[in-house]
Amino acid sequence: MTEQIRVMIIDDHEVVRRGLAHVVDRAEGVEVVAEASSVAEATRRLALVRPDVLLVDLQLPDGTGIEIINAASRHLPEAGCIVLTSFDDDDAVAASLAAGAKAFVLKTVRGAEIAEVIRSVAAGRTLLDERTITRRRADADDPTADLTVSEKRIVELIGDGLSNREIAEILGVAEKTVKNHVTAILGKMGLQRRTQVAAWVAGQRSSAWRAGEEASRPSR
């Protein structure tokens, strides 16, 4: 008997999560072994169930799916991560790739296609659209190049998962001032949502961590 591909689903919407679980469990050779609705819950359960593949939503109540992908890359590197989201965004794709995701699919995908992506990722294949990544990088090597020192500090704090109010308290300014800065940051970085800033920061930190790991390895 062929061993089942073990799948973990992370999405904060129960209806979506249960629907995905129903579709995945019906697919041949695939089974759902765990579900989670937040970054904290997913990170906690990851080491316990040790899935082969993770289906990860990008927008979660206590952070982003990028954080989960980073955790999986560190503690369960053999697992493949699939980003499942409701919006198609170049920056999200880039951050997902930097964090180690193997596929990026929209929630409009058909059930049979999800199962096929899971099997492909479990087999070690990467299904991200490199053309999109290349185009984005060609447009702007550093999307924060035009930010002021204060704006760059706010970007880092957004990446730490802080709210506008918490950032205002740290910087000693009014919350409205932070909101104005965030609006300016989004415009300069070519983004539309605050969560995209958090995803970008997570991707940058993951790249830096990987570079440090490579540098610390003894040469043969």
Specify the pairing of strand 63-64 against strand 59-60. Answer: antiparallel
Please report the domains of the chain, with CATH numbers, ordered by start residue.
5-137 (3.40.50.2300), 139-216 (1.10.10.10)
Nearest to 190 by CA among 91, 111, 102: 91
Say yes or no to pLDDT of 211 above 70.
Answer: no
* Average pLDDT value for residue range 183-212: 79
Give 173's contacts (C-beta < 8 A, 6+ positions apart).
none
Phi and psi (nearest 5°) for 150? -65, -40
Provide the token pair at 209: 């961590």
The residue with tokens 């961590």 is 209
Least confident of 27-41, 94-108, 112-126, 152-166: 94-108
Specify the pairing of strand 80-85 against strand 63-64. Answer: unpaired
* Three-state SS at 103: strand
Provide the token pair at 76: 């369960």
pLDDT tens digit sequence for 175-190: 989 998 998 898 888 7
Which pTM does this prediction carry? 0.59
Q: How confident is the model at residue 213 (pLDDT cuts 50, 70, 90)?
A: low
Measured distance CA(149)–CA(152) in Å, rounded: 5
Of residues 86 and 119, the one with the higher pLDDT is 119
Say yes or no to pLDDT of 173 above 60.
Answer: yes
- Name the DSSP letter for residue 79: S
* Average pLDDT value for residue range 190-213: 76
Write out the E strands in 118-214: none
* Three-state SS at 27: coil
Least confident of 4-13, 55-64, 137-146: 137-146
Provide the token pair at 50: 């040790």
The pLDDT, as a whole number, for residue 131 is 44
Of residues 175 and 203, the one with the higher pLDDT is 175
The pLDDT, as a whole number, for residue 132 is 44
Say yes or no to pLDDT of 102 above 80.
Answer: yes
Specify the pairing of strand 53-57 against strand 59-60. Answer: unpaired
